[in-house]
């Protein structure tokens, strides 16, 4: 099985005719994702790649095609409105790839999405892939393979590295989720861990965190009290000096709460296997599964 997306996912792409949107839509279609519609205001009536109908609004796209999931490739200043438009149109899952969405915008988006019972992944994330079923976002499909390891990460490129190492070792994945590293995001570690715990196909979880904030400590507490499946974790930015930002807006050390040492200690206290390097996930997960 998988979490959040599967073969039943019907995808609408917001920003489908733009540079990034068109490039990644082709990649998703080639992977086998069921892309049923695209949205670019003012370009309704066109067809993308002579296959996918383009609409002026998400409402029209959902009404015509039954799309249940949206992926967003629009500029930062329009991303918040795009998320709310997708949710208001009836999409139960929204994946926002856009980087640089203002935090103030996200303070409005987050409660809007929650109140309507939808799920937002991102913003500023690489998306999600359930190998062999569906890909929504920019995670390279060629590095993934179906299997029984769930993957969740704050870092996009670190997601790719760990998935590649797992696949090389014959450890396939149920679903790989990039939650993004912004201060306010729609889906966090605990959301994914809870879903993986309930998924009968997932037998172990690989979790990649980074310095800054307390998300990893909260995830460790959840693992300790609510998970029976084994979890292996890694913290990026272990050599960063205090106050140094490591690529993500949320990755800033404040006092001792966001340090790598504090997070690693929380992992160990929760029984989470700690990887020193991304490649260590392979041996640690194999040991947990045996």
Residues labelled catalytic: 248
Residue 12, helix vs strand vs coil: strand
For 155-181, the DSSP string reads: -HHHHHHHHHHHHHTT--EEEEEE---
Residue 142, helix vs strand vs coil: helix
For 221-262, the DSSP string reads: HHHHHH--S-EEEEEE-TTPPTT---SSTT----TTTT-HHH
Cα 267 to Cα 246: distance, rounded to the nearest angstrom: 21
- DSSP 8-state code for residue 102: -
Cα 290 to Cα 277: distance, rounded to the nearest angstrom: 21
């Amino acid at each position: 099985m998988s979490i959040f997306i599967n073969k039943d996912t019907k995808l609408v792409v917001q920003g489908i005719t733009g540079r990034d949107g068109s490039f990644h839509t082709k990649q998703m279609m080639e992977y086998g994702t069921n892309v049923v519609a695209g949205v670019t205001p003012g370009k309704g009536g066109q067809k993308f790649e002579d296959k996918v109908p383009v609409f002026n609004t998400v409402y029209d796209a959902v009404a015509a095609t039954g799309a249940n999931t949206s992926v967003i490739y629009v500029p930062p200043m329009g991303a918040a409105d795009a998320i709310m438009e997708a949710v208001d149109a009836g999409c139960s899952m929204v994946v926002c790839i856009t980087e640089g969405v203002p935090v103030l915008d996200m303070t409005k988006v987050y409660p809007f999405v929650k109140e309507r019972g939808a799920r937002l992944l991102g913003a500023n994330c690489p998306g999600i892939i359930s190998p062999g079923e569906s890909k929504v976002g920019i995670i390279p499909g060629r590095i993934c393979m179906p299997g029984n390891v769930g993957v969740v990460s704050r870092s996009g490129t670190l997601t790719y590295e760990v998935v590649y190492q797992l696949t090389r070792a014959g450890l396939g994945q149920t679903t790989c989720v990039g939650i993004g590293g912004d201060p306010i995001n729609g889906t966090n570690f605990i959301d994914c861990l809870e879903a993986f715990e309930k998924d009968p196909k997932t037998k172990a979880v690989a979790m990649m965190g980074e310095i800054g904030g307390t998300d990893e400590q909260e995830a460790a507490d959840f693992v300790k009290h609510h998970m029976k499946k084994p979890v292996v974790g890694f913290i990026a930015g272990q050599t960063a000096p205090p106050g140094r930002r490591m690529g993500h807006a949320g990755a800033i050390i404040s006092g001792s709460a966001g340090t790598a040492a504090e997070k690693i200690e929380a992992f160990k206290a929760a029984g989470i296997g700690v990887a020193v390097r991304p490649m260590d996930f392979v041996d640690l997960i194999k040991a947990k599964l045996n």
